[in-house]
Amino acid sequence: MAGNSNERLEYECVTLLKEFGLSEYEAYTFVYLLRLGSGTAKDVADIDGVPRTRVYDAVDTLHEAGLVDVQYSSPKRFTPVSRETAIRKLELQRENHLTKLRALFDQLEPAEPHPEEFGVWTVVDRAAVASRLVEFVDDAEDEIIYMTVDELLTDDHLAALSAAEARGVDIHLGNVSADVESRVLDRVPSTKSFETAWKWAEEGAGSLLVTDRRTALVSVLVDRADASSIEETAIWGTGERNSLVVVLRTIFTWRL
């Protein structure tokens, strides 16, 4: 049982290490050296049958990455850096990759000007909906109309609204529950509440967002088929003549 447990842990470590660009042999070699503390190619190969020639190739790459030290004895011995050092190096590598990717994204030019979007898009999964909502709030320049239910009001939503307030964006909160209203006003005190024709926190309601009268998102909570849990699905559109934007703007903005 303990052996099976070690194998599962090794497999999970290797799977994650491969996401940082290591090959399977390199990842297994590093994991085995972490277990050994120090060892030769034969020591590593004996753990789980990794070919000895593959160990040498893997160690060369790990050594270049600063993850393994080499002692030029006969035979050569290999010592991994500490677990803490390995994590720091991998974190730095990820940050460097993201920094480079961010710079490349900034250099990308659109192939052509974006036309007015007349369609309605769908996004599924609570995290994906929350991410899209925060993105729209972050882009708002003048006005935000927002409604949500208790279980969907996250710290990310509140932080985005707070940042919008700091930019001078007018924020309007619809007919939500007392708890949602209290939490929003606590973080975003300039928020203005307004009455709608119905209480938003009805069964099935999710979040609603209209920004600058040209971007709109509305979501609902639905039962998942595979469990008794609840999932979120949203539709969104953008453009002053987009049908979803026009409808939601007509329903809500006349009350402001």
CATH code linked to domain 121-255: 3.30.870.10
Helix (H, G, I), strand (E, B) or coil at 217: strand
Residue in this structure with the two tokens 């049908």, named with its chain if needed: 243
The helix (H) or strand (E) run that includes residue 52 is helix 52-64
3.40.50.80, 1.20.1050.90, 1.10.10.10, 3.40.250.10: CATH of 2-87: 1.10.10.10
Question: What is the residue extent of each domain of the chain?
Answer: 2-87, 121-255
Helix (H, G, I), strand (E, B) or coil at 173: strand
Tens place of pLDDT per residue across the chain (256 aa): 345 678 888 899 999 999 999 999 999 999 999 999 999 999 988 887 678 888 899 999 999 999 999 998 888 899 999 999 999 999 999 999 999 999 998 888 776 655 556 678 898 888 899 999 999 999 999 999 999 998 899 899 999 999 999 999 999 998 888 899 999 999 999 999 888 767 776 666 899 999 998 899 999 887 655 544 568 889 998 888 888 888 887 877 666 5
Sign of CA dihedral 195, 196, 200, 202: positive
Residue type, 42: K
Residue 117, pLDDT score: 61
